[in-house]
Every structure is written in structure tokens, then in C-alpha cells.
Amino acid sequence: MGNIKRREFLKGSSAAAASALLFNNLSANSLISGPVANKSKSISGSHFGAFRAHVKGGQFTGVTAFEDDPNPSPMINALPSRTYAKTRVEYPMVREGFLKHGHKSDTSKRGTEKFVRVSWEKALDLVASEIQRVQKKYGYKSIYAGSYGWYCTGKLHNPQTLMNRMMKISGGYVGRIGDYSTGAAQIILPHVLGSIEVYEQQTSWPLVLKHAKNVVFWGANPLVTCQIEWDVAGHGAFPYLEQLKKAHKKGQIDVYSVDPVKNDTAMYFDSTMIKPKPNTDVAMMLGMMHYLHTTKQYDEEFIKKYTVGFKDFEDYLLGKVDNTPKTLKWASNICGVKEEEIKKFAQTLKDKKSMLMAGWGVQRADHGEQFHWTLVTLACMLGQIGVPGCGFGFSYHYSNGGTPSSHAPGLGGISTNINSSRQGPWTKYEPYNIPCARMVDMISNPGKVIDFNGRKIEYPEIKMVYWTSGNPFHHHQDRNNMIEAWKRLETFIVHEPHWTPTARMADIVLPATTEIERNDIEIIGDYNSSHIIAMKKAIEPVKESKDDYEICRLISKRLGYEKEFTDGKKTQMDWIKEFYNNSKMQGENKGIKMPSFEEFWEKGYVKFEVRKEDKNFTRYEKYRQNPMLHPLGTPSGKIEISSRVIKKFNYDDCLHYPSWIEPAEWLGSKESKKYPLHVLSPHPKYRLHSQLSNTWIRDLYEVNGREPIWINPEDAKKRGIKNGDIVKVYNKRGSTLAGAIVTNNVLPGVVKMDEGGWYDPKEPGKDKTMCKHGDVNQLTIDKGTSKLAQGNISNTALVEIEKYTKQAPEITVFDKPAIV
């Protein structure tokens, strides 16, 4: 395989970009093609996959995909561009007003004021003194360091863990619970299944291909999202997706997509489409279950043997609770899918062996807990849970879940655990965490008490936020509300390789390295752990960038705790060697022979094998065989269709059984008269959230320099919008420009605008100014899913669109901010 040039990549993808479809088939990933890799090149890895770096004259010039990657992502070709992007933060920077006035500066000027270059000594002294000042004056609960983001891979250079380790040593911080990806699901599913589930290994793909006759992608788009992984992406699911397509073409397996948008996965398989209105999947599933129940086709034996609480749900389903039977007609009136179509779908899933592969975007909605709970209940009524190749799965779309696990040891990394014989601030620190997606609500409302999973949480008064290599000014909802909240902070510190929208809002910006500029170690494949890879430093840090480890070490030194931070180790390589040798010891205990660290580092990787038994893994198989011997982690040991624990919480927005609760905004609400389009913001195809948006890869998908928005021809015609037009998308929360793609691949009344577009304000500092580029979180709602999970509801939002007839403003977010 060889690196392709930018022009060749663009030429090969131009038609696809115009139709917003890059991967018409999986072989499109062979855009990275050519001779077998030159194994002498320095090996490294990223969320997009492993690669060998091309270096010429000390410059990172290109990549060759790792030879064991079965389906490399073309996005790795943009990594050199990212390394040398115009947005690179090259030196330590301080906001001009903060440099002059410190924490007493005018905080309303964040995002508009110039930055001043300072020395590392000055910057580190400022950071250390601010940490000490705030902790001493207000206590550790005044600092939010629940830093969050996907920036880099590596067991040593994990920016969030390194910063949290440093902050814990210095006295503590407020942290976070959960994440933006699965905020609702990972709270509800332990009540229902006794496991977080969304990050668990799935029934193996070989068994799905062997046994399932129906495969349903329910709000899931693995063709796009499996390009990336939390660790180094291994892309192990793609060969199985190809096999599924062949089986589908031969008529051996039927493939369905339940989604208002015909996404890349649906296009690839030419799936049978079921298109409910956004946020109405629960109502549709209730209609399906009502049909199965009243026709006596549901699996009563499975319900009796493996679940508890069905009677409470049954009374709700049949209308005994609210005088509203959840009939096919009732469901159809809400979700917009015809009664006969709902009935046929339910019958098909019941008549044949079926695997329901559900995504996470559906639970990022108001009352999002209900989606996963209802789908599990539907699977229970179908009675196929624990049957090889059948049932349900919640992470086939994430990190190539379902790829058989290798017979491999674990690989540990740096943690926040402090190994010290002396007393220090860390010994007095008691963790204090808030639900991840309630960060801005916390900053805006100190002292507010919220419900969360059966307990009360009081928001502390936050004076400082510390963020490392993440971009909250991309991923958090209701951008204008967030900007207003940020004015309350005295100090905002950021480690960043790039001038992201977040870095531009900071008081102190410390330039951090990328993976290619440092040594590290990582696994390939979150679920299958196919390799341990040496991530080798290929170039020197750009300009004055430093590793996050080094930055935190130097700050810890100023705070008087360098020894605790480094654990007495002399070098970063000492850590990496320790991680590997611990893994090697685990391997020996499992009968796995591994080379010495020196041999491993020289070769660049260790490969592990997949055993036959690993290919035959069926989730919940042991539970189905003997629920007494293999109980679940719920209070009853069974699947809880009704939860006594949740019932005791007595929440009005999350009942003790799966139920349809009207969202804050949807196409059936009064709000839809003013804002008649529902905007969905799924994961982007050409980047990882906001990563790579500052590279040439942006040329593949932008429309007239703006983030694209899909709109149905019917809706476009009403508004006089044509393909390629620049449009204004707006609601009461904010507005943004976008580039229109008119397509039948989106349901009438629905528009799709991927999350991750960099926020580029038209008039920085002005209240509710329009984003020039396409930040969809100008439009989204900052509200918790319910009192149970308090997850984000990014896919619950109504908007209106109009053609933008003024002179389109110039995009400036991909240039450096003003610097003194």
C-alpha cells in the first residue's frame, strides 16, 4: 500500500462528495493503494488507524497504511496536513487582557481579544499560580477539570488522564460522570441488564452471518463510525460487512435500516428502509409489541423465564394505565410510518432469526433512556436473546464491535492513582463528579440541585475550567448559552495543538504535540486487541510544542509534586516499557509468548491470534442456558422490563417501565408550526467529530465553503432552495450558515447536518451572532434527557431554513487568531 496524493484522493472522490457519499462500496477504502508497505518506515497509530510515517528532511510528508489493516480509512492521508495546519498553536499564548489583569480581566472579551506570545517559563508559572490561587481561595470544587475529548491515542499521552493526575496531586477538581456519546444508555441499561452494555463485546460477526436472517441497523451507521476507534482503529468489522452485503445480494440475509436518513450503511446495502420521524422510534416499537401481544405471537416463555416486571409494562402497552392502547394506528399517528409497514416489520422480525444492531444517536434525545429500554423489551418479546447470531447489540457501530476478540493480554496505561509514601493534598481529595452533559448548566447555576440516577447533586461554583486536547466549543449543545456561561469563569486553561474554537476562548493556551511527535504504546482494536503497537516518534515537536506529559510534569514541579507525578521514573520511555512488560507478564500467565520490550520496539508491533472459541461468542448465551447459574447484574438477576429501583425514584420524566414521553421539540409539537424541520446531527463521515476539519479533507464535503445540510426536495422547493445554495439554518437559540444538498435520502420534514463543524462567529462578541461555517450546536438544546441520566439531547431540535441572499462572509476560523 502506498500513500496517495491529495489531488488523486480528491479526483477519486469528487462525484461522491457531490452526492455526500464517499464509500459507495467498501473497496473505496482501497484509495490507499499501491505496493506493499515499506516496513522500515516509522510505525505509529491514530484513531483513524495504524500507519507508517513518511519523513523527509525532518518533515512528516505522508503515510502508508499498516500492512495488517484489512480496510484502511482514507482519512489517515490527512494526518500530515493536520500536523502542519495553519491553525497549529506554535507557542505558549495568553489572552492580552488576562496577561495584564489576570483573573480580574474582562471575561466578555474571550474569543475576541488578541493573544500574546509568552515564554514557556511565564506560561507555566501562570498556570501553576492560578491553580494554587483558586484552590486556596475557593477550594478544589471550584475547578472543573472533567476534560473530555477524542484527540489522541496512546497509553501514556492521554491528555485528560495526565491533567487529572496533576490536578488530583495538587488538591483536587470537579470531574464528570459518563459521556456525550451514551449519556442516557449507560445509565438506564445497568438497571435493565445489569451492565453498561454500550461498551461491551457483541455477539461475534461470524455467528451473525451464519445464523441471522434479518440484520437491522437501527439508527446505526457502522460504515462511517467504524472507521474510528477509541484506541488505534483496526477496522476488523469491514470484512464482515462485505460478507453481509454478499449474503444480502444472494437473498440469504435481509438487511433493514431504521432511520429518517438513508445513511451510508443503508446505501451500501441498499437496505429496506423504515423511516420513523425523529424521536418517535419508541412509539413505533410499542406499536410493534402491541401487535405481537394481541396476536399472541410474542415469546411468553422467554418473558416468564428471563425477565421481571412485564405485567406493569403490559398494562401500559394495552392501555390499562392511561386508557391509550399502543396500537398500530396509535404508533403510526406518532411516528409517521404506515400501520401495515409497522405490522409487516414486526412480523418479519418474529418469523425469522433477527439481530437488532442499534446505534447511540437515537438515545441522544429528550427521554433518550426510553429507546434502549424499549428495544431490549422488544427483543425479549421476540425471544431471541442469547441465541447464536440473534438478539440485540449496542456497539456494532462503535470501534468495530462484534469483531472476534484475540487471545491477548491487556495493556494498562497511566492513571490518576498516586503512589507516594508522604502525605499530600491528594490524601484529602474526595472525588466530586457531575453528569458530563450538564457542565454548562453547572457553570451557569452554582448551588442548583439536580436529580441524577436516584440521588441529588448540588452544583459547586466553578471559577476555573482546565481542558486538555478536547473541543467543548464543538461538542456541547446550545453554543450561545455556553458562551454566556463562560463569562462567569475567572480562568480558562487549554492544552491544544490547534486554534480550535475552544482554544480561541481560552485565557492561557499551551501548545501540545500530536502523536507523530512523541513515543507511546497502544493496542489496535478496542474489541479484538489484534496487536500491541509501538507508536514511534517520527519528527521533532512543531515549533515550541510540548507533550502533555511534559507540560503536566513541569507544572507539578512548580507545585512541589514532581516526584508524585512521575512516580519516580526518569523518562517517558520508562513508563512505556513498564506498560509493555506488565502486559508481557499477563501474556505469560495466559500462555502467550511475547518478545522482549527491545525486540518489540524494534519491530514495532506484536500480533495476537483469534482462537476458534473467540469466533463463537454469543452475548447472553450463558444466561439463556442457565439464568440461575449465570444471573445478570440487576437486583433480580434478570432482565428488568420494569425496574423497582427506578420506581422508587418517582421521576415524572422516566417511569419504571419503557414508555412514550413526548419530546421537548418534535414534528408533532406546537413548536413545529414556527420551526417545521427537525435537525439531526450524526457523526460526520470525513472526520472524527471536529478533528480533520482544519485539513484539506474539508474540500471533499463542504458546499461553497460551508458545512453541508441535507434537505428533502419537497422542503427545498417550498423555500426556493437549490442544490449548492448557501442557506441560513435558525431557531430561537441561534443560527448558522450551511451548504444545501437537496436529496431524497432524508425524510420530508427532516434535515441532516453533521456535528463537528468548527464554530466561526460572524461578529465575535456580539450576542447570538450567526456562525458563518456550520456549527450545528448553534441550534441544539442544552437539557438533560431526564432526571435519571441527565444525558444530552442533541438530536432533539426544530429549525427553519431559508436561502441566504446576502454576500457570504469569509470563513476565518481556519486562520490563526489575532496575535500581538
In the chain, the amino acid numbered 19 is S
Contact (Cβ atoms closer than 8 angstroms) between residue 693 and residue 763 = no
List residues bridging with 736 in a β-sheet. Answer: 729, 771
Quick count: other Cβ atoms within 10 Å of Cβ 583? 24
Whats the size of the chain, residue-wise? 820
C-alpha–C-alpha distance, residues 224 and 398, integer Å: 10
Active-site residue flag, 205: no
C-alpha–C-alpha distance, residues 753 and 635, integer Å: 41
In the chain, the amino acid numbered 677 is L
3-class secondary-structure state, position 808: coil
Residue in this structure with the C-alpha cell 501474556, named with its chain if needed: 587
CA angle 152, 157, 162 (to 5 degrees): 115
The alpha carbon of residue 20 and the mean position of all alpha carbons in its chain are separated, in whole angstroms, by: 21
C-alpha–C-alpha distance, residues 486 and 488, integer Å: 5
The secondary structure element, H or E, covering residue 710 is: strand 708-711
CA angle 450, 755, 403 (to 5 degrees): 95
Quick count: other Cβ atoms within 10 Å of Cβ 730? 19
Residue among 266, 279, 227 nearest 357 (CA): 266
Catalytic residue among 138, 150, 432, 696: 150
- Bridge-based pairing of strands 520-524 and 508-511 is unpaired
Contact (Cβ atoms closer than 8 angstroms) between residue 60 and residue 53 = yes
Phi then psi for residue 606, to 5 deg, are -125, 135
Phi then psi for residue 754, to 5 deg, are -60, 145
C-alpha–C-alpha distance, residues 306 and 636, integer Å: 10
Left if phi > 0, otherwise alpha if psi is -120 to 50, otherwise beta: which for 402?
A: left
> Residue 239 has which C-alpha cell?
470484512
Burial of residue 340 (number of CB atoms within 10 Å: 0-12, 13-18, 19+): exposed
3-class secondary-structure state, position 818: coil
C-alpha–C-alpha distance, residues 189 and 375, integer Å: 11
518 is in an annotated binding site: yes
Q: How far is CA 74 from CA 28, 77, 223, in A?
A: 9, 6, 13
Helix 120-138 / helix 548-559 crossing angle, nearest 10 deg: 60
Active-site residue flag, 148: yes
In the chain, the amino acid numbered 355 is M
C-alpha–C-alpha distance, residues 199 and 758, integer Å: 28
Catalytic residue among 91, 148, 316, 398: 148
Contact (Cβ atoms closer than 8 angstroms) between residue 694 and residue 688 = no
C-alpha–C-alpha distance, residues 358 and 349, integer Å: 14
> Residue 41 has which C-alpha cell?
518506515
Residue among 42, 37, 35 nearest 603 (CA): 42
Residue among 239, 283, 275, 281 nearest 257 (CA): 275
For 698, which DSSP code? G
548 is in an annotated binding site: yes
475 is in an annotated binding site: yes
706 is in an annotated binding site: no
624 is in an annotated binding site: no
214 is in an annotated binding site: no
Residue among 569, 566, 545 nearest 555 (CA): 566
Residue among 492, 488, 485 nearest 468 (CA): 492
* DSSP string of 98-146, one letter each residue: HHHHGGGS-GGGTTTS-EEE--HHHHHHHHHHHHHHHHHHH-GGGEE--
Burial of residue 811 (number of CB atoms within 10 Å: 0-12, 13-18, 19+): middle
Catalytic amino acids?
A: 148, 150
Detail the residues annotated as belonging to a binding site.
Answer: 150, 364, 471, 475, 518, 548, 777
